[in-house]
Amino acid sequence: MKYAISCGHQLTAQAAENVLRAGGNAFDAAIAAFACSWVVEPCMSGPGGGGFAVVKRGSQFFALDFFTQTPKHKKSADDIDFRAVNVDFGGTTELFHFGLGSMAVPGAIDGAFALHKMGARLPMRELFNPAIVHAELGHALSPFQQYDMELLQDIIGSSDHGRELFFAHDKLKNAGDEIRLPALADFLDYLGREGRKAFYEGEVANRIAEACRSHGGHLTTEDLKNYSTSIRNPDQFVKDGLTVISTGLPSVGSKILNAIIHRTNISTEYQIEATLMEAMTAVHGMKSSWFEPGWNIKEGGTSHINIIDGDGDAVSLSMSLGEGSGYFVEGTDIHMNNMLGEAALLPGGWHSWIPDARLKSMMTPVLALDAGRDTMIATGSGGAARIPFMIAQVLMHLHSGEMDLYQSVEAPRVHWDGSHWQAEPGYRVPAISGQQLWNHWPEKNLYFGGVHSSAILRGEYSACGDDRREGATAFCN
């Protein structure tokens, strides 16, 4: 049995591995891992969020958009629950809004069922089982998840139910403390038996709509019932024998990735760092022109999963909950997203979103084929607006032939933020940098993404979980 798995939590990887060993394929494993992430990565993923995926089935490739959708009707700003919170990321703060008025229509559950229809072998009830077990019996809060929860504790702790789940003795739980989500376990069991309608129609949908009607949200039963995952041909481009396959719009990240890679020269006469820096500077200046006025833009991707199975089929999946709205759906433990409360997706200011439109994103799940090196790689990252810039560095290091998968992921990274080069320790500063300002970080940091990656290299399966974001792996040859 051969497989390669990389993702953002060891239990997420374990869920995928167990499903593959039970006879499942890449689609089965991706669904199991995705559902498990809703439980063990609760600030980064959840059934109340959404995402994107690019998949390989046989010789065909597909892109799935199951990201959040804006409501069909917009209430007055004076009539909604829309609360401000400053999140301190250490050295910088960012203003977000949460509350029922910040919620967009989630696509995570519909996306899981869409993946199942595309080629899964095992029943959904079985694929949800790892998530159900961890939700019901409990799991230890990991250090990275605790850190993320600490950043967002004002949102999580804004409701009695959030405090019940994630606080103890009026303080946020610590790494190693047990997290249990018993109502989510019950809901996932019900969802596995009843199908996607268990969320998008019926009692749960009515609860969400009634909470919005009574307490200042936009969502209605019509919004939920009409949600649908979009499946289409992916975006593909080729550079020097490297074929990169990603979701295309509404993921703007794939367009940026294309531009960076096409401007990068990996010949031995010219250092890869130098041309990458030139490309990143050029693309940074072009980026704003690609976000058309009026677009709803989400510049985030908080976790990522890659699965490659023994048949060479693959799923690369990025997902996000935003920061969460603070609203937990009654009787389900489902924390809903706050995508309408992020300044990044509101170029015209708060409440400027376009009704009934899919949000745009920087999330960039990728499959790449390198014919000259007989390689396939599945990769993606968290890291907000930096996502495609971080993925490009990993891909080009691997394509250069100078590094293996682990070295490509672990290599020091750089990012041009518009005024300074941000660089990890050990980054080789090329001569072209001149007098530009540099900020040298003391250690690797999640600022530079979490480019979890799985690969087949000359028939050998391998995986690397980026420790910048607590990456985890499982692989077998």
Q: How many CA atoms lie within 13 A of 23 on its CB side?
A: 4
The pLDDT tens digits of the residues spanning 259-275 come to 888 888 776 555 677 88
User: Residue 89's pLDDT is what?
Assistant: 65
Q: Kindly tell me the sign of the dihedral angle through the C-alpha atoms of 174, 37, 369, 287.
A: negative
Is residue 473 within 8 Å of residue 378, measured between CB atoms? no
pTM of the model: 0.94
Paired with 423 in beta bridges are 414, 440
Ranking 104-108, 213-217, 249-253 by mean pLDDT, the lowest is 249-253
Q: Residue 297's pLDDT band (boundaries 50, 70, 90)?
A: very low
Integer CA distances (angstroms), 280 to 100, 137, 274, 390, 437, in order? 38, 46, 10, 10, 15
User: Residue 298's pLDDT is what?
Assistant: 46
Q: With a cut of 80, say whether residue 432 has pLDDT above it.
A: no
Domains of the chain: 3-232+303-361 (no CATH), 235-296+366-467 (3.60.20)
Could you identify the residue written with the tokens 């405090």? 163
User: Residue 175's pLDDT is what?
Assistant: 95
User: Residue 225's pLDDT is what?
Assistant: 98
Is residue 405 within 8 Å of residue 462, measured between CB atoms? yes
* Amino acid found at 371: A
Angle between helix 26-40 and helix 182-194 axes, rounded to 10 deg: 150
Average pLDDT over residues 160-166: 96
The C-alpha atoms of residue 146 and residue 430 are separated, in whole angstroms, by 37
The pLDDT tens digits of the residues spanning 115-148 come to 999 999 999 999 999 999 999 999 999 999 999 8
Q: With a cut of 90, say whether residue 54 has pLDDT above it.
A: yes
Q: What is the dihedral of CA 300, 145, 182, 207, to 10 degrees?
A: -30
Q: What is the dihedral of CA 106, 112, 117, 121, to 10 degrees?
A: -170
Residue, of 379 and 435, whose pLDDT is higher: 379
Q: How many residues does the chain have?
A: 477
Q: Residue 468's pLDDT band (boundaries 50, 70, 90)?
A: very high
Is residue 326 within 8 Å of residue 162, measured between CB atoms? yes
Tokens at 220, concatenated: 């209605």
Q: Residue 300's pLDDT band (boundaries 50, 70, 90)?
A: very low
Q: Residue 299's pLDDT band (boundaries 50, 70, 90)?
A: very low
Q: With a cut of 90, say whether residue 394 has pLDDT above it.
A: yes
Tokens at 103, concatenated: 């919620």
Ordered alpha helix ranges (H), 267-313: 272-287
Percentage of residues of the chain with pLDDT beyond 90: 69
Three-class SS of residue 198?
helix
Q: How many CA atoms lie within 13 A of 255 on its CB side?
A: 16
Is residue 217 within 8 Å of residue 177, measured between CB atoms? no
Q: With a cut of 60, say whether residue 291 has pLDDT above it.
A: no
Q: With a cut of 70, say whether residue 295 has pLDDT above it.
A: no
Ranking 201-210, 297-306, 342-351 by mean pLDDT, the lowest is 297-306
Helix (H) or strand (E) holding 144: helix 143-151
DSSP 42-73: TTT--TTSEEEEEEEETTEEEEEEE--B--SS
The pLDDT tens digits of the residues spanning 40-50 come to 999 999 999 99
Q: What is the mean pLDDT of the chain?
A: 90
User: Residue 92's pLDDT is what?
Assistant: 59
